[in-house]
Structure 1
Amino acid sequence: MKMRGHDRINTVLPDELILEIFSQLGSKSSRDACSLVCKRWLDLERLSRDTVRIGASNNPDALIKLLGRRFVNVRNVYFDERLSISLDGHFGRRRRGDPSAPSSQKPHHATEKSVSEDGEIDSYCLSDAGLTAVGEGFTKLEKLSLIWCSNVTNAGVKYLASKCSSLRSLDLQGCYVGDVGLAAVGECCKQLEDLNLRFCEGLTDAGLIELAVLCGRTLKSLGVAACAKITDVSLEAVGSHCRFLETLSLDSEFINNKGVLAVAKGCRSLKVLKLQCIIVTDEALQAVGVFCSSLEVLALYSFQRFTDMSLCAIGKGCKRLKNLTLSDCYFLSDKGLEAVAAGCSELKHLEVNGCHNIGTSGLEFVGRSCPRLSELALLYCQKIGNYALSEVGRGCKYLQALHLVDCSSIGDEAICSIAVGCRNLKKLHIRRCYEVGNKGIIAIGENCKFLSELSLQFCDRVGDEALIAVGRGCPLQHLNVSGCHQIGDAGIIAIARGCPQLSYLDVSVLQNLGDMAMAELGEGCPLLKDIVISHCRQITDVGLAHLVKKCALLESCHMVYCPSITTAGVATVISSCISIKKVLVEKWKVSQRTKRRAGSIISYLCVDL
């Protein structure tokens, strides 16, 4: 920027252009790097920052005040106190001689508190004082997420709402906020579109009804889960006042047909419906099919009181349906799936999980009737056989992702059909499908030239021959062959030589894998970021050293129960990988020197009791 005391660029670059540069940078690290050019760029970057994300940290209330002064144009604030994150630098550290100041030596979870030496309780959770700072510091706030912020109360939410009238999205998941706070949001935030009330145990019908009345014209998305005092009465208010609601996610043991019927009849613009309501019956789902013709996404979990009649109504009335998830719906059969396939030809995503009465014929019909299918997941589907996937292979040439878990009747014949018919396949995840072997995976390697993710967990008939074919034909970035005990050095060497873009590798529990494969991975896969080699008995410190010597981008390494890897090997990983963020290893293999050098990134399989 400067040369011999002369600023040759800054003098001719207007602020607007620099702000545009910052707006085009995708990652926080890139923005931070550019802000170091000079003080002017730092100030402009702060002006351009519109999003702040905060995990559980020491003294979050004070942190918010600091961020509010520095980033005045922030519109999106995300708190998630499930994440333990301590602050670097002086802020939040315990000063000498000041025992009441918060310490950053130990990360605290959302519900933890510590007692200082003078008896004062220091909270590590965001409180009402922090929410007050949010309201005063981020007056342009549009999106606020408060996940598991257990110290926030009605008073804090009420004050925030009064200051942030432009709020459009509010996530209160796991907060103990009651009706008074929610009513204040409805009264002050007239532009509210998105509201998440999952695990808000303090709410009753009164609060949600008042919000529905006040924000009914703008509310587009609502999520409710584990709120025992929210009943059908609330949903009737939503159906009456929230005419433009597009997304409803509902998980409740207390909601009955009456509430779902009210939403189906009143919210004709509904596009996304996710239900886990065990006492809802066919009557409610049939109403969805009749009244919600714009429905695009439907997810039904753990339904025990509805039958194929519901899916027949969905297939008949919801012609725009693109995404269907059926999980643990025990009374559904092939007839219901056939009805959806026949009526919803635009279906792109289908997941069938634990629906034990759905078999081969239902999925055959999907293959014949849904040519736009791009993702298929079959989990714990014991009755679905090879011929079903053969029909998918013939009819769904745009399929890009296939997930199979514990499908005991699916084998090589099915995988070969997918390989030949679905040549655009990018993701293939198979777990515990014991009939899948070399033949099917070789066909994948020979035909699916865009495959970037392959997972073959505990498919014990797959061996080196299959991986050699994949290495020759597929540009893999993600490979998981955990538990495939027939795979050894030859297969992984083929991947190392044929897949230079590989960034994730799990070879855990491969007893025949040794140092030669590790050396080849180091030479051939310089972009490797994550590796799991746990339970690999033949890998030694020598192989590990060859791997980390060339894989400069390595960020995580899991290596528990590797008897030939010693304290020296662990130290080699720590010292050689400048980007390393996590090492999982037995505690006794970590020397005191390694602990001092990188204690924060080391995780142990077992801890002292």
Structure 2
Amino acid sequence: MPALVNSRGEGFVFSFGTHGEVYCPPRKRSRICGLCIVGGDSSKDKKPSIDVLPDECLFEIFRRLPGGRERSTAACVSKRWLMILSSVRISASFETNFPSLKSDTMTIMDKSSSRVGCISTDLGLEGVECDGYLTRCVEGKKATDVRLAAIAVGMSTRGGLGKLSIRGSNSLRGVTNHGLSAIAHCCPSLRALSLWNLNSVGDEGLFEISRNCHSLVKLDLSECSSISNNGLASIAKSCPNLTSITIESCPRIGNDGLQAIGKFCPKLQSVTIKDCPLVGDQGVASLVSSGSKVLSKVKLQGLDITDYSVAMVGRYGNTITNLVLVGLHNVSQKGFWVMGNALGLHMLSTLTVTSCRGITDLSLEALGKGCPNLKHASIRKCCFVSDIGIVAFSKAASLLENLQLEECDRITQIDFLNAILSSNSKLKSVSLVKCMGIKDVHMESSSFSPCQSLRSLSVRSCPGFGSTSLALVGKLCPKLHNLDLSGLSGITDACLIPLLESCATGLSKVNLSGCSNLSDKIVFALVRLHGRMLELVNLDGCKKITDASLVALVDSCPLLNDLDVSRCLITDSGVAALARGVQPNLQILSLSGCSNVSDKSVPSLEKLGRKLVGLNLRHCYSITSSKIEFLTENLWECDILS
């Protein structure tokens, strides 16, 4: 086998006759580890491939593709092509000029293995239309850069993604800045972005969003530990149409980010800031004082702010209609008093204050005076509020319609209810929850004046509320429509029947869950007095209620929509009676914990389930799993809990 020597000494070519030639490079180039066939018949079998081109060349080719169909087809080839296509910026005009495509399946290469995996991305077809915009939500293991790239490329052919929510992250191949950049490049019409629990996404991802998605109106950041003030500021400067922002548990976002939002976002309407340790008075004050002139909703929770911040809210919150303050432990009575007396909250209609030690009787009265248009107030876990403060607050807030008090243990006597109802003729709803200081003390009833406006009364889990208190309610509230006495285990049939008799206009919703001393007698009285009006009856945990109550409800309550007899003495006979009755409006039935309901009730439940939308059979241990499966298969329009 003769060898031909290259004249320049660059290598050797060995001849194999008609079969071809082999070229051998100089031996000093030891990195060449194989032979290269440069001639012969085997050259006919070689297939040229575009994949030998570097990413830069492929990028230049892909960005010149004429339309969305071509982009989608190319994205189906491989993961590499998909990721390159997702880096090609799409103009807003491109998104609106190409028609939508049918669902496709993208075949991509999984990084974690050598096999080719088939991942259905639908190229955006799975997007749900909400408020006129395509919406996608990826959670947990599905939250990866590859999936976001597929969504980005696919949605660009259907008019563009409008809303995107990313919740949680894949622990092995989670969402990073690359995935968010793909969305930014391909979906410039993005309007709402929610990032929850994404530690691997930082400022770089938000930089790309700010460069490309200038139509963004809503931003929600929760537990994003890598995002700082710089990323938030870039959004503020590039997205002037921002109307809503939520920042929760982001340890690197502080005053500078909020100042940028206040300075560059004149259309801001809603702000929620929760558990951000770097946010202080400077950021909150700047946001409220120099921010949007249409700011209507503000929520501040778990922040290290002082009296100065709430005072600024009271001074500059001219347009605020909904204010929520939670866990502001460094704000004192003085701060809330100044907030009320600053007289800047004249548009406020809804106020919620929870776990704030600075809310006392004095500051609460000041808030009532400083908010003349207040209609809804909720005071929760404020341990220094007493009967005196609530009465003074209700007198000052003359337009108050709904009052909720929860875990205010200094409220000691139920006669404060008489005081607030007498002083405020517009109250429609009052709720008392876990107010442990209430005592059932005998009082003279001659001074009680009925309240004609009150329509809803809720007294829940207040152990001191007994027969005397019920008698007072009966005299004060003759026009109740909704009554909730859940968790009052001490009340009996004898003390509740007079209250039912005093409600002259008829009750439509009655919740007696947890009232374990009530029996069938109370249901008979309820049906006799209000059966034609009843829409909701909750008897969960009333252990003395039997099938007789079900028969009474079936015969006399044509409007009944929601019935809960969980943990009652209901048997198969009661379920059969319910199925035989005519209940055209019944949609939700709960039999949870009814151990005497067995497989014999399955035919009756099947008949009932044809009209139900919800059926609760949890902890019904006498119904076998096979029967539960039978009901689930046959009642596919009914949501069955088991």
TM-score range (shorter-chain normalised) is: 0.7 to 0.9
Distance 2:419 2:624 in 1: 57
Amino acid at match of 2:537: L
Shift in CA distance, 545/444, structure 1 to aligned 2, threshold 3 Å: farther
Distance 1:419 1:208 in 2: 57
1:186 matched to 2:197? The reply is no
Partner of 2:458, secondary structure, is: strand
Amino acid at match of 2:224: C
| Shift of residue 258, structure 1, vs aligned partner | 2.4
Match of 2:291 among 262, 267, 279: 267
Q: Is residue 561–residue 585 contact of structure 2 (8 Å, CA) maintained in 1?
A: yes
Partner of 1:535: 567
Partner of 2:270: 247
Partner of 2:313, secondary structure, is: helix
Match of 2:493 among 464, 476, 479: 464
Match of 1:354 among 377, 381, 395: 381
1:208 matched to 2:235? The reply is no
Partner of 2:152: 132
Distance 1:77 1:143 in 2: 6
Partner of 2:452: 423
Partner of 1:564: 596
Amino acid at match of 2:455: K
Give per-residue Cα distances to partners, 1:487-509, cap 9 Å, x unaligned.
22122233335244544332122
Q: Is residue 74–residue 138 contact of structure 1 (8 Å, CA) maintained in 2?
A: no
| Shift of residue 170, structure 1, vs aligned partner | 3.1
Q: Is residue 418–residue 448 contact of structure 2 (8 Å, CA) maintained in 1?
A: no
| Shift of residue 80, structure 1, vs aligned partner | 5.5
Partner of 2:328: 303
Shift in CA distance, 448/410, structure 1 to aligned 2, threshold 3 Å: same
Match of 2:319 among 281, 294, 298: 294
Partner of 2:38: none
Amino acid at match of 1:434: P
TM-score, normalised with respect to structure 1: 0.73
Q: How does 1:31-430 map to 2 (within 5 A)?
A: 62=121, 65-67=124-126, 75-79=132-136, 110-111=139-140, 127-132=147-152, 135-139=155-159, 142-148=162-168, 152-175=175-198, 177-215=201-239, 217-254=240-277, 255-267=279-291, 269=293, 270-317=295-342, 318-384=345-411, 385-410=413-438, 422-430=451-459
Distance 2:393 2:307 in 1: 22
| Shift of residue 247, structure 1, vs aligned partner | 1.9
Amino acid at match of 2:313: V
Amino acid at match of 2:288: A
Q: Is residue 539–residue 565 contact of structure 1 (8 Å, CA) maintained in 2?
A: yes
Distance 1:346 1:316 in 2: 15
Distance 1:454 1:168 in 2: 42
Partner of 1:457, secondary structure, is: coil
Partner of 1:547: 578
Partner of 1:337, secondary structure, is: helix
Shift in CA distance, 238/580, structure 1 to aligned 2, threshold 3 Å: closer
Partner of 2:125, secondary structure, is: helix
Partner of 1:219, secondary structure, is: coil
| Shift of residue 420, structure 1, vs aligned partner | 5.2
Q: Is residue 121–residue 147 contact of structure 2 (8 Å, CA) maintained in 1?
A: no
Match of 1:454 among 483, 491, 498: 483
Give per-residue Cα distances to partners, 1:199-226, cap 9 Å, x unaligned.
33442222111101112x3222211001
Partner of 1:258, secondary structure, is: helix
Distance 2:322 2:311 in 1: 16
Q: Is residue 520–residue 549 contact of structure 2 (8 Å, CA) maintained in 1?
A: yes
Q: Is residue 397–residue 421 contact of structure 1 (8 Å, CA) maintained in 2?
A: no
| Shift of residue 572, structure 1, vs aligned partner | 3.1
Amino acid at match of 1:195: L
Give per-residue Cα distances to partners, 1:157-204, cap 9 Å, x unaligned.
434344444443333344564323322332233233222222334422
Give per-residue Cα distances to partners, 1:388-415, cap 9 Å, x unaligned.
333320122222222111123446799x
1:582 matched to 2:615? The reply is yes
| Shift of residue 518, structure 1, vs aligned partner | 0.5
Q: How many residues align?
A: 506
Q: Is residue 594–residue 620 contact of structure 2 (8 Å, CA) maintained in 1?
A: no
Distance 1:201 1:161 in 2: 21
In angstroms, what is the RMSD of aligned CA positions? Answer: 3.6
Q: Is residue 152–residue 187 contact of structure 2 (8 Å, CA) maintained in 1?
A: no
Amino acid at match of 1:250: I
Amino acid at match of 1:470: L
Distance 1:277 1:141 in 2: 34
Amino acid at match of 1:234: G
Give per-residue Cα distances to partners, 1:139-169, cap 9 Å, x unaligned.
2654444555765544444343444444433
Match of 1:591 among 624, 630, 634: 624
Shift in CA distance, 399/64, structure 1 to aligned 2, threshold 3 Å: farther
Partner of 2:553: 521
Runs of 4+ in 1 over 6 A off after TM superposition: 71-74, 123-126, 411-414, 416-419
| Shift of residue 424, structure 1, vs aligned partner | 3.0
**Larger Cα Rg: Structure 1 or Structure 2?**
2
1:434 matched to 2:463? The reply is yes
Distance 1:111 1:143 in 2: 18
| Shift of residue 474, structure 1, vs aligned partner | 4.7
Amino acid at match of 1:241: F
Shift in CA distance, 502/64, structure 1 to aligned 2, threshold 3 Å: farther
| Shift of residue 231, structure 1, vs aligned partner | 2.0
Partner of 1:351, secondary structure, is: strand
